Amino acid sequence: MTESIQLGDVLIAVTRKDVKHVHLSVHPPEGRVTLVAPNETRLEVARAYAITKLGWIRAQQTELRNQARETPREFVERESHHLWGRRHLLRVVERDARPSVCVDHKRITLTVRPGSDQTRRAEIVHDWHRSLLHEAVPPLIRKWEPRLGVSVTRYFLQRMKTKWGSCNPRAGHIRLNTDLVKKPKDLLEYVVVHEMVHLLEPTHNDRFVTILGEHYPSWREARAELNELPLSAERWKE
């Protein structure tokens, strides 16, 4: 059961789990706040702890709000688009042929049928993004399965508003945000490893941090870089 703590204008969602310590998190992009507490923790105790962290919470939320945001993409000629951490200019070609997308070191070329609107162009590019991730993700999973001693039974790609990834430890599934195709490939690897570690430890407790630190020592730097990059301003339908 999820409860909540209200501290002025700060709302904190409280969840009790089988953990040893309290874990407080501020999530991008909006600055949503969650607190995971041991099962036996009384709400008053969790509230007292949150009060001591209120300054930190506000600082994290301010940082997220000041973070650069991409303007919504219109998929027009010479528009800026990011792919694997690099900026490309979009070239739009109207041709009575099957839609396609290709990329060189400076430009992404989007070929569409004459009269294709912004929504259709966005769908074509998003499908292309998914195809690139489907090429990039399986080798990373195969690389890390023997290192971590886990097995990913399935992975999914989907648009996510507030997370870069998620994990279902019981099913052995991981989910990845399709926006990761815009970030450097090493950050995609970090998110894949992060979610795969959840197959060993479902929560963000000390054991999780120890395992992640052992296998991916630069995880803090990767997380910081990921959250400093521009956030998408697209309005997800999913």
Count CB atoms within 10 A of the CB of residue 20: 10
Residue appearing with tokens 């999914």: 156
Superfamily of domain 80-228: Metalloproteases ("zincins"), catalytic domain (3.30.2010.10)
CA 151 – CA 143 distance, rounded (Å): 11
| pLDDT averages per 10-residue partition of the chain, 238 residues | 87 90 82 90 93 91 70 87 92 95 93 94 96 98 97 94 88 95 94 97 91 94 76 37
pTM, two decimal places = 0.72
Domain boundaries, the chain: 2-66, 80-228
Would you state the structure tokens that stand for residue 53, as one six-digit string? 């962290």
- Give the per-residue pLDDT at 135: 97
Q: What tokens does 73 get?
A: 């993409």
